[in-house]
Amino acid sequence: MSFKIALSDRKVEAIMASSNSITKKVVTKFVSNLWAKLRKERAGMENACLIYDNTSCHINKEVNEFLQRKEICVLSIPPYSPQLN
């Protein structure tokens, strides 16, 4: 079982569980849906920052293009940093 969890300064914003592999397509959809949800709930929100590790499904063209279009900043956790996960 694999999980993706989105946290904000306020609460757990979204949880995704999958018994299959989490692919770049799944990550792209998760981030896109999360962004739409946040924009709807926080009408005045002007910026966001995504923090993720270096898993190959996170580092892909589709996700990065989406993040650039939406002007979402990205902070990547350095490899082999379990204390930051």
Domain limits for position 58: 23-84
User: Residue 71: which residues within 8 A CB-CB, separation 6 or more?
Assistant: 47
- pLDDT tens digit string along 49-82? 777 777 777 777 888 888 888 888 888 777 776 6
- Evaluate whether residue 78 is within a structural domain: yes
- Given a contact cutoff of 8 angstroms between Cβ atoms, the answer to whether 68 and 48 are in contact is no
- Given a contact cutoff of 8 angstroms between Cβ atoms, the answer to whether 35 and 49 are in contact is no
- Evaluate whether residue 12 is within a structural domain: no
The overall pTM is greater than 0.85: no
Distance CA 33, CA 2 (A): 18
Distance CA 72, CA 68 (A): 6
Total number of domains constituting the chain: 1
Overall average pLDDT of the 6-32 stretch: 80
Range list of H helices, 1-85: 24-41, 61-69
